[in-house]
Amino acid sequence: MHRDVVRFPDGVAVTAVSFDDTGYHRGAQPDYGVYLDARWQPPWPHELVEWPDFGLPADKAAFATAMSGALARARAGETVELGCLGGHGRTGTALAWLAMLSGISPDEAIGWVRANYCPHAVETAEQHAFVASFR
């Protein structure tokens, strides 16, 4: 189970989570969530990005918009949560995108996420290529 605060080099932080089917109990609820698996239906404001497990976002432009919005909210001081099911492939790939939006190069983003979040983040060759394609 993941419920880890990930702080980017520019000081912005998000909480990366894996799905917990026992409920949405938190010490404090996040202000906003971006979830990459349809199982997520939290009671707080959120958006779902359609993204099959081990794949890529169904709508890459919508994903990029969701990541920019999540980062803007976090920069504004909101508590932002980001998660999929297991917290590795999709969440790791999304964290790599946030890292790149925060100034980390595409060549370093996956290694940075693995060092600062989880060594199993970003699972497939397709997800690696998606990170490398960041513009």
Checking if the pLDDT of 56 tops 90, the result is yes
Q: What is the pLDDT of residue 25?
A: 85
Name the superfamily (CATH) of residues 3-21+28-132.
Answer: Protein tyrosine phosphatase superfamily (3.90.190.10)
Residues 42, 24: contact at Cβ < 8 Å? Answer: yes
- pTM of the full structure: 0.95
- Residue count of the chain: 135
Chain centroid to CA 119: how far? 15
The confidence band for 21, taking pLDDT boundaries of 50, 70 and 90, is confident
Residues 44, 28: contact at Cβ < 8 Å? Answer: no
Residues 50, 120: contact at Cβ < 8 Å? Answer: no
Using a 10 angstrom Cβ sphere, with 0-12 exposed, 13-18 middle and 19 or more buried, the burial of residue 13 is middle
Question: What is the mean predicted confidence (pLDDT) over 32-61?
Answer: 96
Q: What is the pLDDT of residue 134?
A: 87
Q: What SS3 state is found at 19? A: coil
Residue 28 CA to residue 19 CA, distance in Å, equals 17
Task: Mention every residue, 6+ apart, whose C-beta is less than 8 A from residue 101.
Answer: 67, 68, 71
